Chain A
Amino acid sequence: MSGERKLAIICSKGSLDMAYPGLILANAARMMGIEADLFFTFWGMDIITKDKVDHLKVTPVGNPAMHMPQFVGGLPGMTDVATAMLKKEIERLDIPPVREFLQMVHDAGCGIYACKLAAEMMHLKREDLVDEVDDIIGAMEFLEKAEGAQLLFI
């Protein structure tokens, strides 16, 4: 059915709500036998950075889907409230926290790659990144890996 199908996902955002779409899709792909690679770049590096991965947040500011006046979203503590709410719902749906999710997709055979340029820009070394990261690679190397894949930019 899906013998040749392949998915490559670029994760460029580092907020909690933007960490999940890539992880869920990559995992779903592996569950149905589709090859998948995740490539983390720019703010997405937070998702695979050891001291950031457990502290990703969702911010109400600038997000109209939060359905609240912008100034309310900007009040002190609102980011923590929104983050706590999202984490609660995620747990209720039996979706793992990001760190565990990375391990799960990696165990499922999904490749996890960090962007070389973003790592240099943010002064991140291999040891700063979670163990599941397979390699730190450049854009050209990523494009080679993604040859023939359906590409998603998140």
Chain B
Amino acid sequence: MATKELNVSLDAEGFMTDPNQWTPEIAEAMAEEEGIAPLTERHWQVINWVRKEAARTGEFPSLRAISKRSGVDTKELYELFPKGPARKIARCAGYPKPKGCI
């Protein structure tokens, strides 16, 4: 299913604008569009950790924080979410485009 058909608000680049609208089905649809479907258990470990962390702190975590604390290191992050992990993780986790530098 395309993300446009999911009835959630997206910005011009396809990022969700309201993380509360997120469902696991949205993650699968985003992954499809990003060319990384189907999502594996390792993808889900990242997505679930990121959502928990973002809900806890109110901010989308840096890629460095993800690599240090999600249980998935930098190398694997780039394998799971190749060619732009910051964008792909944020889209799958239902968050706006990350602005952090790290």
Count of B residues near A, CB < 8 Å? 17
> Quick check: is B75 within 8 A (CB to CB) of the other chain?
yes
Do B74 and A104 touch (CB < 8 A)?
Answer: yes
Q: Are A107 and B63 in contact (CB under 8 A)?
A: no
Q: Which of B63, B65, B75 contacts A31 (CB 8 A)?
A: B63
- Which residue of A is nearest B13, CB measured? A1
* B2 at the binding interface (Cβ < 8 Å): no
Asked whether, in the complex, the Cβ of B83 is within 8 Å of the Cβ of A33, the reply is: yes
Instruction: Find chain A residues with CB under 8 A from B63 CB.
Output: 31
- Per DSSP, are chain A's interface residues mostly helix, strand or loop, or mixed? loop
How far, in Å, is B54 (CB) from chain A's closest CB?
A: 15
Query: Contact string, A28-40, partner B, CB cutoff 8 A, digits 1/0?
Result: 1011110000000
**A24–B84 Cα gap in the complex (Å)?**
15
Whether A33 pairs with B74 at a CB distance below 8 angstroms is: no
Chain A: interface size category: 10 to 19
Distance in angstroms between the alpha carbons of A31 and B84 in the assembled complex: 5
Chain B 45-73 against A: per-residue CB contact (8 Å), 1 yes, 0 no?
Answer: 00000000000000000111101000001
Query: What are the residues of chain A within 8 A of B67 when measuring CB–CB?
Result: 104
Q: Is A146 an interface residue (CB 8 A)?
A: no
Is the Cβ of B84 less than 8 Å from the Cβ of A32? Answer: yes
- How far, in Å, is B39 (CB) from chain A's closest CB? 19
Question: Within the complex, what minimum Cβ distance (angstroms) separates B65 from chain A?
Answer: 7
Whole-angstrom distance from the CB of B80 to the nearest CB of chain A? 13
What are 18 A-to-B residue pairs whose CB atoms are below 8 Å? A24-B102, A27-B102, A31-B63, A31-B84, A32-B84, A33-B82, A33-B87, A93-B102, A94-B62, A94-B65, A96-B102, A104-B67, A104-B74, A107-B73, A107-B74, A107-B75, A107-B78, A108-B78
